Chains A and B, each alone.
Chain A
Amino acid sequence: MASPRRSEGISKLTGRERYVDDLAIDGCWWGMTARSPAPRGRIREIRFGKGVDWSEFVVVDHRDIPGPNEVRLIELDQPVLAADRVRHVHEAVVLVAHPSREMCRRAIREIEIVVDREPPALDFRVTPSPDQIQYADDNVLKHLRIEKGDVERALAGAAHVVEEVYETGAQEHVYLETQGMLAWEDDGVVTVSGSMQCPYYVLNALIHALGRDEKQVRVVQTPTGGGFGGKEDYPSNIALHAALLALKAKHPVKIIYDRGEDLAATTKRHPSLVRHRTGVDSEGRLVAQDIEMILDGGAYVTLSPVVLSRGIIHAAGPYACDNVRIVGRAVMTNSVPFGAFRGFGAPQSLFACERQMDRVARAASLSPAEIRRRNLIRDGQTTSTSQRIDDGTDRLAVLDAALRRSDYDAKREAHRSFNASHPYLRRGMGLASFYHGAGFTGGGEVYLASTQHVAGLPDGRVEVRSASTEIGQGTRTIFATIAASRLGLDESDIVIAEPDTSRVPNSGPTVASRTAMVVGHLLELACDDLRRTLGLPKDAPGDAVRAAIIARLASHPSEELVGKARYKAPPGIQWDEQTYKGDAYGTFAWATYVAEVEVDLRMFETRVIAFDAVQEIGKVLNETLARGQIQGGVVQAIGWALTEDFVWKDGAMANAQLTNYIIPSACDVPPIGVEFLENPYPHGAMGAKGIGELPMDGPAPAICNAVADALGVEPTTIPLTPERLMDLMTEAGVA
């Protein structure tokens, strides 16, 4: 059966979709940001040059902030605009607005921020010296720990113990639409409209720093050209900047970042270092996993504690092991802050885990497939947090489907003779088995207590009111499918409300692979509530629903006919935040990915020549959209694994151009084969589990495992650029 078409697809394909920079607003001024040149220090002076007439400009600094100078997130450590100190290069210090964008650019060049420099902490792997300490007494933003069984005793009795250290680099989201916000004040209400994932995060940040109440602030999401986590937290900063300028200028103000500014100043994926010490018995069964994960937290806390949390929870992989110790810490540095990015810590820890499993396989003289077959978690067994897995998913079937689909064994065999005869090409196969927990971690969903509404319209259609945003993944289309299915209506009977905080309830942020599964399920419950409100039985057909809506609103035209739902944890979910024990997630999606690579030993280039992604995701709601999520995620992960390298200078990106930060083009990746297995999850919409982040987890280890298979060297650091592979082979004496 063909999937329903993306509801806004034609509008996007024809360029009619209006993004924030496409909105022509009368009297709108442009806003721009002057930033710190130094990674750390005291602001001594801000010099305004003579090259522009400053009387034409509105200039905003920290003194113009009506409320606390804090961007509201997990902690309140990040200022909206740096006041007396800066903690990273490109930190926002001064804002300017002018009717002409060109004049703003000239003005920014005329602003000199003079900083008395202090010693920055720039390497999260190195213990900071006393004069680099800026947070607590060790610069550690967050410590976390998971314990299960007795790791030391188990390691002492293990047949083989394998130790290795893995490192992953930062990654830039490169959503194709750069960050942008438009703000204006009208009748005492500040409205901010722009590119974002989480309207209520932005709303709460505005309420806090502008010192306003909820009624005086409104946030509207415009069509958003990609997010990947990059528009989870950072939009609060730029929204505040636009709002401050608009309030002072008494004009609408639009801030649209150039690509260079977006690359340089916005958040990235956290770099990581993960240390593994793994013990197996003589049969290759895991007896102990001792893991340490360190994240570069960057200059402010942002979301680092929860990224670390997801990272360590996924660190032991989808395996059963009775003795596990995972310690994690996120370390403050004077780097441009790291934030949310698809996968949220799990890709980092799973890269290490799945590379480590291949090393363990070699130590135990097992094939990569066999070590996973022996250790993949079975129903009734527990994860590292002692979460009992009992979902009825056949995880071995996922592994077998991936091996079959990729022709794994036959290709490995063929590659042996190919590699023996070719002068400079080497081929290899690599696999990774992994899982991804959908929704907020631990008690997060209970804390969020998301709400979701549906409203009857006078013509009998139903409007979905949600703060969950369309950012490319297909929220609008999926929500129409879910609501239509629940109410027995056609998708054309469903209207999706614009995410406008004055009209839609707080259904939580559009993150954590939670939209289809968690919010989609709330949508189902809200539909049930609507039916109840209409006095209809649970199985009332769509025609009856439509007729009842029309009748009710005809007789009570001023009434709001709204069905509502609020999140409640599924029965039996237990989580202890103190001990990190219990049900870390309501459910997991399970996957095995296989990469086939060809390494060209002339230039040490690794090319992925085939890729197969097999996953169990509960229920596929829309085949085209689900496949697109997997294929896009895999390719984004191929970039992270191979080419997306950072050149750092003073904790900032020296290669902040798309010419020098290399994301894959169509020529750099093969077709991505996708297969879904389904085992409906009773608490997800129509049985669905989350999938958005899953495909980010598996490709990097699968690719590096394939390189190891091809070359007999063990990559431990990504991106595995040709330069890095050359060094690795030179060190190994095989270059």
Chain B
Amino acid sequence: MSKPQAEKIEIELTVNGQPVAVSVSPVERLLDTLRYTMNLTGTKEGCGEGECGACTVVLDGLPVNSCLVPTIQARGRRVETIESIDPSRLSELLDSGATQCGACTPGVVMSACWVLDHPDLCDSHSLRELMAGNLCRCTGYDGIIDGLAAALDASNQRPGAGA
């Protein structure tokens, strides 16, 4: 006998600034809701065990592995995914070679943009520590770290920086 699917629950949350209502199973992963229900496939599954960070999204202002977040816990909260990122923020990462195969990249970009939004983190953490939750098998990390450093420099020099 096939088992019936668990009862679905209706929840509301804000994704990339838009209020959305979705119907989810009680223990569905946020990663799957984003990818397969909302078709936001920019967020990748790399390991399903919170190790690689490819599925990083920002939940209420903090980076999380969406493979370890029950969607139900995002009810009433704000989720930012890679689809929210303005490409104009990424030129330093592009120029430094921060992406090769691209599979870890959306997670890398979410972490990097979170650091760019919170440059004070650099007072307590090295850039390598800040990016340690994102495993990359292509770049050897220099392209990522150099690009993030350049982007931090550029945003410091932008008018209004530090406000």
Direct contact of A and B (CB under 8 A): yes
Give the interface of A toward B (CB within 8 A). 2, 5-6, 8-19, 21-22, 24, 50-53, 56, 100, 102-103, 106, 173-178, 223-228, 258-260, 471-474, 624-625, 627-628, 630-636, 657-659, 663, 665-667, 669, 671-672
Residues of B within 8 A of A56 (CB): 2
CA distance A103 to B93 in the complex (A): 41
Question: Nearest residue in A to B52 (C-beta to C-beta)?
Answer: A658
A52 in contact with B2 (CB, 8 Å):
yes
A15/B41 in contact, CB under 8 A: yes
Residues of A with C-beta under 8 A to B85: 13-15
When the two chains form their complex, are residues A667 and B102 in contact, meaning their CB atoms are under 8 A apart? no
Nearest A residue to B41, CB-CB? A22
A632 & B48 in contact (Cβ 8 Å cutoff): no
Of the candidates A21, A176, A258, which one forms a contact with B48 in the assembled complex, judged by CB atoms under 8 Å apart?
Answer: A258
Residues of B within 8 A of A24 (CB): 39, 41
- A6-B94, A10-B90 known; A259 vs B144 contact (CB < 8 Å): no
Listed A/B pairs (22) with beta-carbon separation below 8 Å = A9-B94, A9-B99, A12-B105, A13-B102, A14-B42, A22-B35, A24-B41, A50-B1, A176-B44, A176-B46, A225-B101, A226-B100, A258-B48, A259-B46, A628-B138, A631-B141, A632-B138, A633-B140, A658-B46, A663-B135, A665-B132, A671-B145
Residue among A18, A19, A173, A632 with most chain B CB within 10 A: A632
Q: Write the chain B residue with the least CB distance to A260.
A: B48
Smallest CB separation, B151 vs chain A (Å):
12
CB-defined contacts of A14 to chain B, threshold 8 Å: 42, 82-83, 85, 87, 90, 106, 109
Q: How far is the CA of A103 from the CA of B4 in the complex (A)?
A: 10
**CB <8 Å contact, A658 and B95:** no
Which residues on the B side are within 8 Å of A633 (C-beta)? Answer: 140
> What's the nearest-Cβ distance from chain A to residue B40, in Å?
8
Query: Do A628 and B143 form a contact, CB below 8 Å, given A176-B101, A226-B138, A259-B47?
Result: yes
List A contacts of B103 (CB < 8 A). Answer: 19, 175-177, 225-226
Q: Is the CB of B42 within 8 A of A176?
A: no
Q: Give the distance in Å from the alpha carbon of A106 to the alpha carbon of B1 in the complex.
A: 11
Q: How many residues of B contact A (CB 8 A)?
A: 57
Least CB distance, A419 to chain B, in whole angstroms: 26
B98 interfacial by beta-carbon distance below 8 Å: yes
Q: Is the CB of A635 within 8 A of B140?
A: yes
Chain B residues in 8 Å Cβ range of A669:
140-141
B128 at the interface (CB under 8 A from A): yes
CB pair A176–B136 under 8 Å, yes or no, is yes
Closest to A472 in B: B101
- Can you list the 7 inter-chain pairs with the closest CB atoms, starting with the nearest? A15-B42, A225-B103, A472-B101, A12-B102, A631-B140, A635-B140, A15-B82
Taking the closest CB of chain A, its distance from the CB of B116, in whole angstroms, is 13
Q: Is B49 an interface residue (CB 8 A)?
A: yes
Q: What is the bound-complex CA distance between A665 and B134, given in angstroms?
A: 7
A-binding residues in B (CB < 8 A): 1-3, 5, 35, 39, 41-49, 51-52, 54, 81-83, 85, 87, 90, 93-106, 109, 126-129, 131-132, 134-145
| CB-CB nearest in chain B for A51 | B1
- Nearest Cβ on chain A to B58's Cβ, whole angstroms: 13
Q: Which residues of B contact A671 (CB under 8 A)?
A: 142, 145
Tell me which of A176, A471, A630, A667 has the highest count of chain B C-beta atoms within 10 A of its own C-beta.
A176
Residues of A within 8 A of B141 (CB): 631, 635, 666, 669
CA distance A424 to B140 in the complex (A): 28
Q: Can you name the residue of chain A whose Cβ is closest to the Cβ of B145?
A: A666
Chain A residues with Cβ below 8 Å from B137 are: 173-176, 226, 228, 632, 636, 663
Known contacts A259-B47, A624-B96: does B1 contact A13 (CB below 8 Å)? no
B94 CB contacts on chain A under 8 angstroms: 5-6, 9-10, 13
* Closest residue of B by beta carbon distance from A671: B142
Q: Quick check: A15 and B51 within 8 Å, CB to CB?
A: no
Contacts of B109 in A (CB 8 A): 13-15
Is there an interface contact between A226 and B101, defined as CB atoms closer than 8 Å?
A: yes
B106 touches A15 (CB 8 A): yes
Q: Which A residues are in CB contact (< 8 Å) with B46?
A: 176-178, 259, 658
Q: Is the CB of A628 within 8 A of B90?
A: no
User: A175 to B101, Cβ gap below 8 A?
Assistant: yes
Find out whether the CB atom of B97 lies under 8 angstroms from the CB atom of A667: no
State the CA gap A635–B100 with chains docked (Å). Answer: 14
CA distance A631 to B52 in the complex (A): 19
Residues of A within 8 A of B48 (CB): 258-260
A15 pairs with B105, CB closer than 8 A: yes
Bound form: Cα–Cα A315–B115 in Å:
46
Q: Determine if A631 and B104 form an interchain contact, defined as CB atoms under 8 angstroms apart.
A: no
The docked-state distance in angstroms from the alpha carbon of A56 to that of B5 is 15
CB distance from A219 to the nearest CB of B (A): 19
Q: How far, in angstroms, from A11 to B144 measured CA to CA in the complex?
A: 16
B135 to A176, Cβ gap below 8 A? yes
A residues within 8 A CB of B106? 14-15
Q: Decide: A13 and B41 in contact? CB cutoff 8 A.
A: no
On chain A, the residues within 8 Å of B145 by CB distance are 666, 671
Which of B54, B105, B132 is the one whose CB lies under 8 Å from A666?
B132
Closest residue of B by beta carbon distance from A18: B41
Alpha-carbon distance A175/B101, docked complex (angstroms): 9
Report Cα–Cα, A624/B140, bound state, in Å. Answer: 13
Distance in angstroms from A441 CB to nearest chain B CB is 25
A296 smallest CB distance to B (angstroms): 23
Q: Are A666 and B49 within 8 A (Cβ)? A: no
Given A17-B102, A52-B2; A658-B47 close (CB under 8 Å): yes
